[in-house]
């Protein structure tokens, strides 16, 4: 008789419905803890989209959220699509437009490198390259793994005719770049023309030289934030839920990720890199360039689902942010050595007190 342990191993070793769907679709899947550069990541033709693509389902995605890198060839367009998963699209290179259809008519959104937008749930849309000579490269962070794992039926996910008019009903001014209050994040906005130009708010309580602005796009459940970490500084380690896709917009550095009591996993990054910390893992982001690093973190949202991580509240107060005086001492020594290699001054304030043994 098969043991419970053997039975568990057999079930755990099976591919998820999402990964089986990717195989059936011919959609290339990329794993690991990070992607060096989404702009140069090798892609393969995905017939459903009508263009080159690769799905980044990294270790920290854990079946919730992943990032699809895609390309629009020069002078071409992708196929019209609608789907029951949400996505947030960052244009990495190129310029063009996306058309959105509703019962009230058609809306066209023009974009460029650095633009960020989110198609309203299940709205039919089509992407067009605005150049006849240069490709468009983009990354679409989405919750397709979660939705495919639930429904397991592509015909329903991609062909459901329902219009969510509570999110989009053809408003001509829907993709406004005006920032408004949000109950899910700092601000609500439906189109950001250039994520690198957004003004951020200083948050020294989360680390010297750290600034941030939370964003909520198109009334969808997914959210995100833009953050910056000044040269010679690093953010306090923290822990949170799975699936936060961290895309590097500017600067150079590295991140350390580790399970409590475990070994460090180091991911070096630059402009265009992607990393995804697993749920419950501590992680730090360290800037080693002379310019400040700027990151875009896109994540699942869904308040009240899973463990209530509090990554901006100190562990001293019952949260999940590690104060610098409590971090492993080798972390700061490593960072000082990395800065010395680059000839960049160390800008961190002295520790408030020695780490307890």
CA distance 290 to 301: 33
Position 10 in a domain: no
Same-domain status, 243 and 106: no
Position 239 in a domain: yes
Long-range contacts of 52-56 (CB under 8 A, 24+ apart): 53/27, 53/28, 54/27, 54/28, 54/29, 54/30, 55/22, 55/27, 55/28, 55/29, 55/30, 55/144, 56/29, 56/30, 56/245, 56/274
Same-domain status, 189 and 155: no
Same-domain status, 141 and 191: no
Distances (CA, A) of 146 to 86, 260, 269: 10, 26, 27
For residues 99-112, give the mean pLDDT: 95
Same-domain status, 124 and 187: no
Position 1 in a domain: no
Q: What is the pLDDT of residue 5?
A: 59
CATH number of the domain that residue 37 is part of: 2.60.120.10
Position 9 in a domain: no
For residues 214-240, give the mean pLDDT: 97
Quick one: CA dihedral 146, 152, 158, 162, positive or negative? negative
Percentage of the chain lying above the pLDDT 70 cut: 95
**Confidence label for 236 from pLDDT (cuts 50, 70 and 90):** very high
Same-domain status, 257 and 322: yes
Q: What is the pLDDT of residue 87?
A: 98
Same-domain status, 148 and 244: no
Same-domain status, 137 and 188: no
Compute the radius of gyration of the chain from its Cα atoms: 21
**Confidence label for 302 from pLDDT (cuts 50, 70 and 90):** confident
Sorted by sequence, the CB contacts under 8 Å of residue 304 that are 6+ apart come out as: none
Average pLDDT, the chain: 95
Q: What is the pLDDT of residue 355?
A: 46
Between β-strands 187-188 and 210-216, what pairing exists: parallel, antiparallel or unpaired?
A: parallel
CA distance 268 to 285: 10
**Confidence label for 356 from pLDDT (cuts 50, 70 and 90):** very low
Write the pLDDT tens digit of every residue in 46-89.
999 999 999 999 999 999 999 999 999 999 999 999 999 999 99
Phi-psi region of 323 (alpha: psi -120 to 50; beta: other; left: phi over 0): beta
Same-domain status, 221 and 331: yes
Q: Look at 100 and 6; give whichever has higher pLDDT.
A: 100
Position 123 in a domain: yes
Q: Which domain holds residue 220?
A: 180-342
Which of 67, 42, 55 shows the shortest CA–CA distance to 245?
67
For residues 95-119, give the mean pLDDT: 97
Three-class secondary structure of residue 331 per DSSP? helix
Distances (CA, A) of 49 to 18, 56, 115, 253: 17, 16, 20, 34
Give the Cβ contact number of residue 325 at 10 Å.
14
Same-domain status, 144 and 249: no
Total number of domains in the chain? 2
Same-domain status, 205 and 72: no
* pLDDT value at 354 more than 80: no
Provide the whole-model pTM. 0.95
Position 153 in a domain: yes
Position 353 in a domain: no
DSSP letter at 294 equals E
Q: What angle do CA 75, 76, 79 make, to 5 degrees?
A: 165
Query: Which burial class, exposed, middle or buried, applies to 14 when counting CB atoms under 10 A from its CB (0-12, 13-18, 19+)?
Result: exposed
Q: Which runs of consecutive H residues, i.e. helices, occur in the chain? A: 4-12, 17-25, 144-151, 154-159, 329-342
Q: What is the pLDDT of residue 282?
A: 98
Same-domain status, 211 and 68: no
End-to-end CA distance of the chain: 49
* pLDDT value at 157 more than 50: yes
Position 27 in a domain: yes
H or E element in which residue 98 lies: strand 95-102
Same-domain status, 184 and 328: yes
């Amino acid at each position: 008789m098969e043991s419970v342990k053997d039975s568990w191993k057999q079930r755990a070793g099976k591919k998820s419905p999402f990964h089986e769907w990717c195989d059936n679709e011919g959609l290339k899947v990329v794993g690991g803890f990070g992607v060096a550069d989404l702009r140069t990541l090798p892609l393969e033709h995905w017939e459903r989209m009508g263009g080159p693509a690769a799905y980044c389902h990294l270790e920290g995605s854990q079946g919730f959220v992943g990032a699809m890198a895609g390309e629009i060839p020069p002078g071409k367009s992708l196929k019209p699509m609608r789907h029951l998963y949400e996505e947030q699209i960052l244009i990495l290179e190129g310029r063009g437009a996306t058309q959105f259809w509703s019962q009230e008519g058609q809306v066209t959104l023009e974009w460029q490198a650095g633009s960020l937008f989110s198609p309203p749930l299940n709205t039919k849309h089509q992407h067009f390259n605005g150049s006849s000579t240069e490709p468009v490269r983009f990354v679409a962070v989405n919750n397709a793994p979660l939705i495919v794992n639930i429904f397991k039926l592509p015909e329903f996910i991609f062909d459901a005719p329902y219009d969510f008019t509570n999110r989009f009903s053809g408003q001509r001014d829907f993709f406004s770049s005006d920032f408004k209050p949000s109950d899910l994040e700092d601000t609500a906005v439906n189109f950001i023309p250039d994520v690198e130009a957004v003004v951020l708010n200083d948050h020294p309580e989360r680390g010297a030289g750290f600034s941030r602005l939370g964003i909520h796009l198109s009334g969808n459940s997914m959210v995100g934030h833009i953050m910056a970490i000044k040269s010679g500084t690093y953010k306090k380690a923290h822990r949170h839920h799975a699936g936060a896709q961290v895309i590097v917009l500017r600067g150079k550095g590295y991140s350390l990720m580790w399970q409590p009591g475990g070994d460090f996993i180091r991911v070096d990054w630059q402009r265009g890199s992607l990393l995804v910390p697993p749920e419950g893992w501590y992680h730090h982001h360290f800037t080693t360039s002379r310019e400040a690093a700027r990151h875009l973190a896109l994540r699942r949202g869904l308040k009240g689902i899973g463990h209530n991580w509090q990554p901006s509240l100190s562990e001293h107060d019952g949260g999940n942010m590690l104060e610098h005086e409590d971090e492993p001492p080798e972390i700061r020594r490593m960072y000082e050595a990395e800065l010395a290699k680059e000839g960049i001054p160390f800008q961190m304030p002295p520790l408030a007190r020695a780490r307890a043994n």
